[in-house]
Amino acid sequence: MADYKAPLRDMRFVLNEVFEVAKLWAQLPALAETVDAETVEAILEEAGKVTAKSIAPLSRGGDEEGCRWDNGAVFTPAGFPQAYQTYAEGGWVGVGGDPAFGGMGMPKAVSAQVEEMINSSSLAFGLYPMLTAGACVSINTHASEELKATYLPNMYSGVWAGSMCLTEPHAGTDLGIIRTKAEPQVDGSYKVTGTKIFITGGEHDLTENIIHLVLAKLPDAPAGPKGISLFLVPKFMVNADGSLGARNPVSCGSIEHKMGIQASATCVMNFDEAVGYLIGEPNKGLAAMFTMMNYERLGVGIQGLASGERSYQNAVEYARDRLQSRSPTGPKAKDKVADPIIVHPDVRRMLLTMKASNEGGRAFSTYVAMQLDTAKFSEDATTRERADGLVALLTPVAKAFLTDLGLETTVHGQQVFGGHGYIREWGQEQLVRDVRITQIYEGTNGIQALDLVGRKIVGNGGAYYKLFAEEIRHFIKTADAGLAEFTQPLGAALDNLDDLTAWVLERARTNPDEIGAASVEYLQAFGYTTYAYMWALMAKAALGKESQETFYASKMGTARFYFARLLPRIHSLTASVKAGSESLFLLDAEQF
């Protein structure tokens, strides 16, 4: 496996040249006071070093060893506690955290790059700080000032960790039928009782305390999702002076034996009248938890991108070194017995597909992060409202499309290796196993597609979609003539997506099955069109600079590949959507 190297040049390109983030931050007073170019550059450089040197070397060994459960205690693989301490001491857990409680206060557009680096170095390791950061977002947004002051400083510093405890053995995605109960106590606390499954980082040996965010129902709660409340339940109680007290009756009943992410503890958690504290309002817990879940959904999308980047780096190194056969146009390495496989058209197809997907995904995840920053920090209500609409529309696309392409990209990387890609010591098969979960957790990609079409398209009559489409159309209209090779196919793709969106809106009025039937292929067509917009933006930033640096020539070549070979996928996806729902119901249940 190649040594991991953070793609800092491309990150700088996306932040500084494509999106010119400094201009956005200057318009947001809360960020203008805390963010400057020198600080951001130092953060990217240092994050690249710590992930490459301290964490990436643990990835394969962590996969081989996995986590170990022993009588309720969970032990992470060798080197993980020390690496986590190094990571925490650098302030990385709180890179996007509120400075009032010890966080760095960096915008999401910056922390997204750090997330990519940590997940490329080891997806399993990256889950621990990711869950903590997400829990902090929910606490900081919805909890009382007392709870914030008690818990956030130690969570941002990495001394304590966080988890989110949602689903239960019988519930799956249908959280409205959870059974975990919370009984109010005279001191204002609650006794939480129930069992939660698939809890990432529910128990481990990386931190001295773990703060669980738990969905539960009050005794008088209404049925369904409207009766869910959110509670903060610490592993160890916290004394008035901030020191740790008695163990709360929270225990790990077992850990799951999984396809991948072996070094991440996926726990069954039992709460036996554990002391908890209400976050937000009673029966409003799902909304509070969605604050964390939406943060995590973009984060999971970035995991797909990160896995694809690691796979690409491995595959490129292998393709340059591996000798096999001769180029179809004649020998290239005449002094060797065969040519490097990078000369072969099919290998180039796979490598360019990986490169185009990764770089498009990096631009897209950064774009969504910028909308999050705008929605959070803008002082203009209209600007915030528009950004909120774009975040709502694009979050399911970011989660699902980035992870779908993440699996495709890791499989391409494995295929470049041939037989060696199926063997453990080369690392590619681990990436395939690890990234597979990203399409499943935080709401399966099918659920994300239903959210996009059902809630974000049909649910508001296409209003969010119009915001995004109008932005793309404005870009096309104002682009220089030199970008026509990109803006013309982008315009055609947008026209197609407009037509497809109108088709879905119309059909959904008379047939409820059309939403579910169309959703996955519609999201994919939306994703490829969105990436075309990202690639047109990147081409604009690189055009005319090809002679200055090889980087720009590579960027332009990859852009042309994307429009020539990947964007046309929208046509088959469109045909699938417009085939309608009828063929899905031709068989009775017993005929399957």
Amino acid at 417: F
Q: 43 lies in a domain?
A: no
Residue 173: band (very low, low, confident or very high) from pLDDT cuts 50, 70, 90: low
Q: Is pLDDT of 236 > 70?
A: yes
Both tokens of 579, joined, read 């085939």
Q: Is pLDDT of 496 > 70?
A: yes
- Residue 301: predicted pLDDT: 98
Q: Is pLDDT of 245 > 70?
A: yes
Q: Which residue has the higher pLDDT, 171 or 9?
A: 9
Q: For residue range 135-151, what is the model confidence (pLDDT) as tens digits?
A: 999 999 999 999 999 99
Q: For residue range 317-334, what is the model confidence (pLDDT) as tens digits?
A: 999 999 999 999 999 999
- Residue 308: predicted pLDDT: 98
- Residue 403: predicted pLDDT: 98
Cβ neighbours of residue 152 under 8 Å, at least 6 residues apart? Answer: 97, 98, 101, 102, 103, 136, 139, 140
| CB of 160 closer than 8 Å to CB of 207 | yes
CA distance 531 to 308: 16
Both tokens of 372, joined, read 């999050």
* Burial of residue 442, with CB atoms counted within 10 A of its CB: 0-12 exposed, 13-18 middle, 19 or more buried: buried
Q: 553 lies in a domain?
A: yes
Residue with tokens 């009588």: 71
Residue 291: band (very low, low, confident or very high) from pLDDT cuts 50, 70, 90: confident
Residue 174: band (very low, low, confident or very high) from pLDDT cuts 50, 70, 90: low
CA distance 574 to 589: 27
The upper half-sphere exposure of residue 353, i.e. CA atoms within 13 Å in the direction of its Cβ, equals 22
463-466: long-range contacts, CB 8 A cutoff, minimum separation 24 = 463/389, 464/389, 464/390, 464/392, 464/393, 465/393, 465/501
Run of H or E including 69: strand 68-70
Q: Which residue has the higher pLDDT, 172 or 575?
A: 575
pTM: 0.96
Q: 531 lies in a domain?
A: yes
Nearest to 292 by CA among 181, 143, 165, 134: 134
Q: 225 lies in a domain?
A: no
Could you give the number of structural domains in the chain?
1
Residue 76 backbone class (left: φ over 0; alpha: ψ -120 to 50; beta: rest): beta
Section 356-375 average pLDDT: 97
Q: Is pLDDT of 292 > 80?
A: no
- Residue 172: predicted pLDDT: 65
Domain span at residue 482 reads 448-584
- Residue 310: predicted pLDDT: 98
Catalytic-residue membership of 442: yes
Residue 460: band (very low, low, confident or very high) from pLDDT cuts 50, 70, 90: very high
Helices and strands counted in the chain (H then E): 19, 11
Q: Three-state DSSP class for 68?
A: strand
Both tokens of 472, joined, read 């793309």
The beta strand positions in 82-228, using DSSP E, are 160-165, 181-184, 190-200, 209-216
In this structure, is the dihedral angle defined by the CA atoms of residues 217, 222, 223 and 224, taken in order, positive or negative? negative
Q: 81 lies in a domain?
A: no
| CB of 517 closer than 8 Å to CB of 581 | yes
Cβ neighbours of residue 518 under 8 Å, at least 6 residues apart? Answer: 453, 504, 507, 577, 581
Q: 139 lies in a domain?
A: no
- Residue 287: predicted pLDDT: 85
| CB of 248 closer than 8 Å to CB of 234 | yes
Amino acid at 506: E
Residue 175: band (very low, low, confident or very high) from pLDDT cuts 50, 70, 90: confident
Q: 464 lies in a domain?
A: yes
Catalytic residue among 296, 442, 514, 521: 442
Q: Is pLDDT of 511 > 70?
A: yes
Q: 241 lies in a domain?
A: no
Q: For residue range 98-156, what is the model confidence (pLDDT) as tens digits?
A: 999 999 999 999 999 999 999 999 999 999 999 999 999 999 999 999 999 999 999 99
Nearest to 508 by CA among 470, 452, 562, 467: 452
- CB count within 10 Å of CB 24 equals 19
What value does the mean pLDDT of the chain take? 96
Kindly give the interhelix angle for 37-50 and 108-121, rounded to the nearest 10 degrees. Answer: 10
